[in-house]
Structure 1
Amino acid sequence: MDATTPLPLRGVRVLDAATLFAGPGAATLLGDFGADVIKIEHPTGDPARHHGVQVHGESLWWKLVGRNKRTVTLDLSRTEGQKICRALVRDADVLVENFRPGTFERWGLGYEQLARINPKLVMLRVSGFGRVGPMRHRAGFGTLAEAMSGFAHCTGTPDGPPTLPPFGLADGAAAVMSAYATMVALHARGTTGRGQVVDTALIEPILHLLGPQISAYQQLGVVQQRSGNRSVNNAPRNIYRCRDGRWLAVSTSAQSIAERVMRLVGSPHLIEEPWFASGSGRAEHVEELDAVVGGWIAARDADEVIAAFDKAEAAVAPVYSAADIVADPQFAALGTVVHVDDPELGPLAMQSVPARLSGTPGQVRWAGRPLGADNDEVLGELGIGAEQRTELRRKGVI
């Protein structure tokens, strides 16, 4: 891709007035494909700017979630800030917000109010628990969604406690779902000529990822329990340690793969067992299968195991850290890691756009920018002159 390659969402303007990760993450995905994303932050800054690992006082989380966005400061609780927001909405396609339900209405920025200004506006509203129901006014974060969705209940070892992920899984799932739903709303606008509200509750996208657990409970009264790295649907499926101390993941979701693994590890007789013919049957004999596969792997170094699995056309992969990812030739071939020339940190490595379009690919054009870096440019586009901007700064509006 070069500077002349068209970005598919060029001409789409997104106002990102959300904080932290789920709403802003959706805006980031739109920005990756060329949308003009204007990040609206309180003059004190998005909390994401102070989250996680920092280098020279700069949050690497912010550099990632703030990429491809122009950043302006605006106190939306102030009358002057609300007036500027309405001016921005006039030419916007999407507005993203994740304040507690009712907050934007209290500020005169609810959907019905903004739709009178711009009937084509798509408003993405992300909240912990949705905009209806008894919990709608509660503060919600990804951790709570990971707990309520059932994820924590079925994650961890059988004799251990429910386990939360060490990263923002619920936020990430909500970001992807929200970006998708926003694009659906923009597509529908081409037919109806009108925008609409996209309502994402953090507790729902991650629940969707968990598969048919609700159906299994309704039909069979079955509640999935914790099984560690094993699967309740097939076996062998686990993390196994090699002779050299490295860990490998093995999956046998397909029957043919399971049979190949048994032949590889020297136990073809197990294939003839009646229970081996289905994933559920193999899962019921997981101890026997894990002993065979785990024992074979434990007697060999990782490179030998990977080569043998590859020759047998069976499924195996190493357990990677970030250090392994940046050195891996497969990730290199995909272009998974890109280096962005950041004015504050220099060459900055981060994940690239998470999907490749053959004709109109996305692009990481810049990392998260300093607070209010684009105030003059964006407010100037609204006709707000230098003297007025100075006065707005003095009053704390920007």
Structure 2
Amino acid sequence: MMETDMHPNNATPGPMALQGVKVVEMGQLIAGPFCGKTLGEFGAEVVKIEATGAGDPLRNWRLLQDGTSVWWQVQSRNKQSVALDLRQKEAQDLARQLIAEADVLVENFRPGTLEGWGMSPEELHAINPGLVMLRISGYGQTGPYRDLPGFGVIGEAMGGLRHLTAEPGRVPVRVGVSIGDTLAALHGVIGVMMALYHRKVNGGAGQVIDVALHEAVFNVMESLIPEYSAFGAVREAAGSALPGIAPSNAYACQDGWVLVAGNGDSIFKRLMDTIGRPDLGQAPDLAGNAGRVARIEEIDAAISAWTQPRAIAQVMDALAAARVPAGKVYTAKDISEDPHYRARQMILPQTTRDGHTVEVPGIVPKLSATPGTIRSSAPHLGDDTDVVLQGLGLSAAQIAALRERGIVQ
């Protein structure tokens, strides 16, 4: 693996939270690999099995540098790449050998794919009883929809999120990133951590973690179902506002947009004083949230009238002085230039294996004793095939023979 000197705390790292944990990552694109990325940042040894030929399609997604996606540089750091043609039995046997020595298997294939390769949970637990097996799919491993194809955007729609991401009466839109996949990955990480803890304290047995994309989205949908159950209320799209909480919205300035969250009772009074509307701040019926919700159009209009002739910086300074929560709507340029991001090392330089330096997101969460690190840059396809297979006991001649027959790359 290619080493780097990039550690988020600018200090020589000590033992890491997941040091000694071995992960085999199978699958591609976002949900499974984001889980592997997160585990790897905190010390897990992650071996990524890719298909021979082109490998993970994410290598070619969005903007490319020297033929490789810069997204790949983030998603696959701290990983080793082994290229296997899993359509062939000998490659499946090699994968089983890797899994037999692993603590965690991460996969995001359509349900039934692993079973078709002779790698069902029962078969894998027979060779590795302690294996924690994370399975991420569109609809889960059971249920009437399990065999349907599902991507993150479909999970966002079925999970209830897409219905809310619109201006009232307009077409539902994407959040802007693949939030369904990432939510599934984060739920998968939580599941892996719980399963590893259970294995440690309850006799060493592994288990299967079943994460469905739509369920991961649904899990963060707040009061959506209780409100429907109790009142028959169907929550609808509300644009940039926070329904039932007032005022909380995006307001236009001369040079962009600012989000203002003035929905606390005392915060609201300070906000109204700041914008020159103490009459609203002192109105008895606006002292509580319910009254403000009833008059939200009037309140939003008052805030907008104050923000529109002002620059973002002027608005932000005034609201900060009044202790009113507010935030500029950031672009990538804003994030890159923000001193707070830099101070907290959330923008880090990373050197690719082609010799480029690219700035990438830092590591979340921040652990005081065992912080995450970027220990190696993202691999080329099959960079680590020989090293990993030698670790299984194969000789150079055996690996060369496998490569000659297209079983490995």
TM-score norm. by structure 2 comes to 0.94
2:39 corresponds in structure 1 to 30
Question: In the alignment, is the contact (CA less than 8 A) between 2:353 and 2:378 conserved in 1?
Answer: no
Taking the aligned partners of 1:4 and 1:287, their CA distance within structure 2 comes to 53
2:5 corresponds in structure 1 to none
2:4 corresponds in structure 1 to none
Taking the aligned partners of 1:158 and 1:371, their CA distance within structure 2 comes to 46
- Secondary structure at 1:354 match in 2: coil
- Secondary structure at 2:259 match in 1: strand
Taking the aligned partners of 1:163 and 1:50, their CA distance within structure 2 comes to 24
Alignment of 1:118-133 (within 5 A): 118-133=128-143
- Secondary structure at 2:374 match in 1: coil
Q: CA deviation at 1:389?
A: 1.1
- Secondary structure at 1:224 match in 2: coil
- Secondary structure at 1:320 match in 2: coil
Q: Deviations over 1:35-88 (max 9, x none)?
A: 000000011201111111111211112111111101101122211011111111
Alignment of 1:134-153 (within 5 A): 134-153=144-163
Q: CA deviation at 1:203?
A: 0.4
Change (3 A) 1:164 1:371: same
Taking the aligned partners of 1:19 and 1:102, their CA distance within structure 2 comes to 16
1:39 corresponds in structure 2 to 48
Q: CA deviation at 1:306?
A: 0.9
Gap runs ≥5 in structure 2 = 1-8
Moved more, 13-22 or 266-275: 266-275
Q: Deviations over 1:177-203 (max 9, x none)?
A: 111111110000012210000100000
Query: After TM superposition, where is structure 1 displaced by more than 4 Å over at least 4 residues in a row?
Result: none
Residue 225 (structure 1) aligned with residue 214 (structure 2):
no
Residue 306 (structure 1) aligned with residue 321 (structure 2):
no
Question: In the alignment, is the contact (CA less than 8 A) between 1:265 and 1:296 conserved in 2?
Answer: yes
- Secondary structure at 1:185 match in 2: helix
Q: CA deviation at 1:345?
A: 4.6
Q: CA deviation at 1:4?
A: 4.2
Q: CA deviation at 1:335?
A: 0.8
Q: CA deviation at 1:274?
A: 4.1
Which of 147, 163, 178 is 1:168 aligned to? Answer: 178
1:21 corresponds in structure 2 to 30
Structure 1 counterpart of 2:346, one-letter code: T
2:6 corresponds in structure 1 to none
For this pair of structures, how many residues does the alignment match?
Answer: 397
- Secondary structure at 1:14 match in 2: strand
Q: Deviations over 1:313-352 (max 9, x none)?
A: 0011111111111110111111111111222152111101
Q: Percent identity?
A: 39
Moved more, 341-350 or 56-65: 341-350
Q: CA deviation at 1:155?
A: 1.1
Alignment of 1:256-335 (within 5 A): 256-335=266-345
Taking the aligned partners of 1:275 and 1:396, their CA distance within structure 2 comes to 75
Question: In the alignment, is the contact (CA less than 8 A) between 2:353 and 2:377 conserved in 1?
Answer: no
- Secondary structure at 1:331 match in 2: helix
Taking the aligned partners of 2:237 and 2:381, their CA distance within structure 1 comes to 43
Q: Deviations over 1:266-318 (max 9, x none)?
A: 11222333442333432232210111111111122221111111110001111
Question: In the alignment, is the contact (CA less than 8 A) between 1:78 and 1:397 conserved in 2?
Answer: yes
Q: CA deviation at 1:117?
A: 0.6
Change (3 A) 1:276 1:104: same
2:367 corresponds in structure 1 to 357
Q: CA deviation at 1:8?
A: 1.2
Taking the aligned partners of 1:16 and 1:155, their CA distance within structure 2 comes to 32
Which of 241, 244, 255 is 2:252 aligned to? Answer: 241
Change (3 A) 1:130 1:267: same
Residue 387 (structure 1) aligned with residue 401 (structure 2):
no
Change (3 A) 1:253 1:14: farther
Taking the aligned partners of 2:18 and 2:383, their CA distance within structure 1 comes to 23
Structure 2 counterpart of 1:56, one-letter code: D
Question: In the alignment, is the contact (CA less than 8 A) between 1:22 and 1:126 conserved in 2?
Answer: yes
2:88 corresponds in structure 1 to 78
Taking the aligned partners of 1:314 and 1:238, their CA distance within structure 2 comes to 13
Q: Deviations over 1:104-139 (max 9, x none)?
A: 111111111010111000000000000111110111
Taking the aligned partners of 2:237 and 2:205, their CA distance within structure 1 comes to 46
Question: In the alignment, is the contact (CA less than 8 A) between 1:127 and 1:201 conserved in 2?
Answer: yes
- Secondary structure at 2:23 match in 1: strand
Question: In the alignment, is the contact (CA less than 8 A) between 1:15 and 1:96 conserved in 2?
Answer: yes
1:207 corresponds in structure 2 to 218
Taking the aligned partners of 2:65 and 2:277, their CA distance within structure 1 comes to 52
What's the C-alpha RMSD, in Å, of the aligned pairs? 1.3
Question: In the alignment, is the contact (CA less than 8 A) between 1:236 and 1:293 conserved in 2?
Answer: no
Taking the aligned partners of 1:367 and 1:156, their CA distance within structure 2 comes to 38
Question: In the alignment, is the contact (CA less than 8 A) between 2:105 and 2:131 conserved in 1?
Answer: yes
- Secondary structure at 1:380 match in 2: helix
1:371 corresponds in structure 2 to 381
